[in-house]
Chains A and B, each alone.
Chain A
Amino acid sequence: MFQTIRKNWPLYLIEAWALGTFMVVASLVVIVVEHPDLPVRSAVPSDMLRRAIIGSCMGLTAVGLIYSPWGKLSGAHLNPAVTLAQWRLNRITTTDALFYIVAQFVGGSLGVVLVHTLLPDYIAHPSVNYVATVPGSAGVWVALGCEFLMSFCLLTMVLALSNSKWLSLYTGYFVGVVVALYITVEAPYSGMSINPARTVSSAVSARNWTDIWIYFLGPIAGMSLAGWRYRLRYRRRYGECRSMKMHLSGQRNGCRTYEVLWWTQEATSEPINR
């Protein structure tokens, strides 16, 4: 364990940096677009169009982080639900998963704290509200359902693409577009989080923990189900395989933590890892 930490601690910092950057950009973009003292809100009266602007900026940010040199090293999970799903797929060790998740929560929270320190009046304004994600007027269960469904669809798409030899290179771009679309269309129902660390990051500064459980249960359940279904299909197609064929993993994209960690007892004399 200590050997893993000593080897991979820079990757944990990268995860913290990545979600921190995402939250800083989210805060700044929402301030610029939604704050009534700035001209964009009055120039663009349509709520949906303003959400499309925010969504496009956040989609581009996600793409930038995923394809950044650092992002490629860590795999740019930015999301504990993604890390847990990858852990369930045995693509990342327990120690790495644990520290990835801690780093994501700390990094994201520090990002919002940074903007709160620099622009306290702007980020605290009710129109920005620390970019907190809270259920919309449709209610808690609709928000939970949306979070679950979005998470399931996103990870299903990511797994399908990242295992395609020729399409895997476009995975990050597809994620960016989908994030933009989700923010544009779904934000009124749940705030569009699909990320427990992203919601907690805002909640820490806003001190608003309203229905926080939704943003843990929905994304984690949705992405876990997507991972489970993926593995089921993979096994059906390839049988009891010794390794998951992940074109996005290993040296292909330079990620240092992704490894093929799972194989069956029948395939080798070694015990199943975990």
Chain B
Amino acid sequence: MLIETLVTIFYGYAGLGAIFGIYFVIWGAARIDVDAHHLPILVRLLLWPASVALWPFMLAKVVRNRPDYDLSIPADAHSAEPKTP
């Protein structure tokens, strides 16, 4: 009985994770960080397995982060002085 319950919980967790993973790959990652918006979908698909496993943490991160629609590149994105020659 206990084993069956644990297996059911596991499948529920994984099922919810799979659904969240699809959302995360398509929209969620870009919601957390606009840089992810520029990643090809194939690269974002690589995030799917871990987003399934870690979905509660990723969901919390998505909920906490408001979408940032400013997709412009920061002025200092590639102009920092090198630390060492």
CB distance A167 to B50 under 8 Å?
no
Closest residue of chain A to B51, judged by CB?
A: A174
Interface flag for A261 (CB, 8 Å): yes
B82 CB contact (under 8 Å) in A153, A163, A243: A243
Asked if residues B29 and A263 are in contact (CB atoms below 8 Å), the reply is no
Q: How far is the CA of A203 from the CA of B62 in the complex (A)?
A: 44
Query: With an 8 A cutoff between CB atoms, is A161 at the interface?
Result: yes
Q: Taking CB as reference atom, which chain B residue is nearest A180?
A: B53
Chain B residues 35 to 78 lying within 8 A of chain A, measured CB to CB, are 35-36, 38-39, 43-44, 46-47, 49-50, 53-54, 57-58, 61, 65, 73, 77-78
User: Provided the pairs A173-B50, A174-B47 are in contact, do residues A263 and B36 lie with their beta carbons within 8 angstroms?
Assistant: no
Name which residue of chain B comes closest to A159, CB basis.
B43
B residues in contact with A170, CB < 8 Å = 50, 54, 57-58, 61
- Please name all residues of chain A whose beta carbon is closer than 8 Å to the beta carbon of B57 when the two chains form the complex: 170, 173
Partner among B38, B47, B78 whose Cβ is within 8 Å of the Cβ of A242: B78
Interface residue A241 (Cβ < 8 Å from any Cβ of B): yes
Residue of A nearest to B74 (CB): A245
Best-surrounded residue of A163, A174, A178 (most CB of chain B within 10 A) = A174
| Assembled-state Cα–Cα distance A137/B82 (Å) | 50
Per-residue contact bits, chain A 237-274, to B (CB 8 Å; 1 contact, 0 not): 11101110100001000000001111100001010010
In the assembled complex, the Cα of A166 lies from the Cα of B60 at a distance in Å of 13
Check: B5 CB closer than 8 A to any chain A CB: no
B12-32 CB mask vs A (1 if < 8 Å, else 0) is: 000000000000000001001
Q: Smallest distance from the beta carbon of A152 to chain B beta carbons, Å?
A: 10
Interchain CB contact under 8 A, B33 and A165: yes
Q: Contact at B78–A167, with CB atoms within 8 Å?
A: no
CA distance A100 to B59 in the complex (A): 36
- Shortest distance from the beta carbon of A165 to any chain B beta carbon, whole Å: 6
| With A164-B36, A167-B29, A167-B33: A260-B80 Cβ-Cβ less than 8 Å | yes
Does A261 contact B82, Cβ atoms closer than 8 Å?
A: yes
Closest chain B residue to A243, Cβ basis: B80
Question: Which A residues fall within an 8 A CB radius of B?
Answer: 153, 156-157, 160-161, 163-167, 170, 173-174, 177-178, 181, 237-239, 241-243, 245, 250, 259-263, 268, 270, 273
